[in-house]
Amino acid sequence: MSKPNKKPVRLHLKVKGRVQGVYYRAWTQETAQNLGLTGWTRNLADGSVEIMAEGPRDVLETFLNQCYQGPVRAQVKEILSSWEKPQSKSQTFEIRYGA
């Protein structure tokens, strides 16, 4: 049995569907903080939500799976994801406003 990978990585997400006006960013922030992740989330002009999260890959995989559900009123249709090198600039997970 292999050990979980605890090396930090960055997960970049673009969440599409009914994800604005349904508290998706606030839900994302709370979920990320509960998992001990750092990063940010923001609304995009095309109606999607962008998320940049950093932490251990196994925790980020859990986070990604939860993002498909989102808050009660959200309707996630698609999530585009990419794995990147961590930049570790943030100590928190914040909601950003504007592009």
Active site residues: 25, 43
Neighbour count for residue 64 (Cβ, 10 Å):
15
Give buried/exposed letters for 21-50 (b at 16+ CB in 10 A, else e).
ebbbbebbbebbeebebbbbbbbeeeebbb
Residue pair 28/51 in contact by the 8 Å Cβ criterion: yes
